[in-house]
Amino acid sequence: MSRKKTDKGLLKIGEIAKAAGVPLSTVRYYTDIGLLRVASYTKGGYRLYDREETVNIIRGIKPVVDKRRTLKQIKEDLTR
């Protein structure tokens, strides 16, 4: 049985994807290339994300990606 929210208010990857309105693969990809930060892990090794931080970053990525910028430029834009 999976819990919707962890004790620390963190969400699993599928829950973050749903909250942000993107496919699960998008969250995985953005994490793998360093655009999203994993806040913690479950005992089973699943990634946990801070809802507010992660959803805000995902919403900020699309306009930057649409400008055809490099990964380095995207990371710089998101940290401003």
- 4-40 tens-digit pLDDT: 444 567 999 999 999 999 999 999 999 999 999 999 9
pLDDT, averaged across the chain: 85
Residue 20, domain member (yes or no): yes
> Residue 15 sits in which domain range?
10-78
- The CA–CA distances, whole Å, from 19 to 11, 14, 35, 37, 78 equal 10, 9, 17, 16, 19
Task: Give mean pLDDT, residues 52-80.
Answer: 83
The CATH number given to whatever domain includes residue 17 is 1.10.1660.10
Residue 5, domain member (yes or no): no
Residue 52, domain member (yes or no): yes
Residue 37, domain member (yes or no): yes
pTM to 2 decimal places = 0.76
Domain count of the fold of the chain = 1
49: left (phi over 0), alpha (psi -120 to 50) or beta: beta
pLDDT at 2 over 70: no
Secondary structure (3-state) at 10 = strand
Residue 33, domain member (yes or no): yes
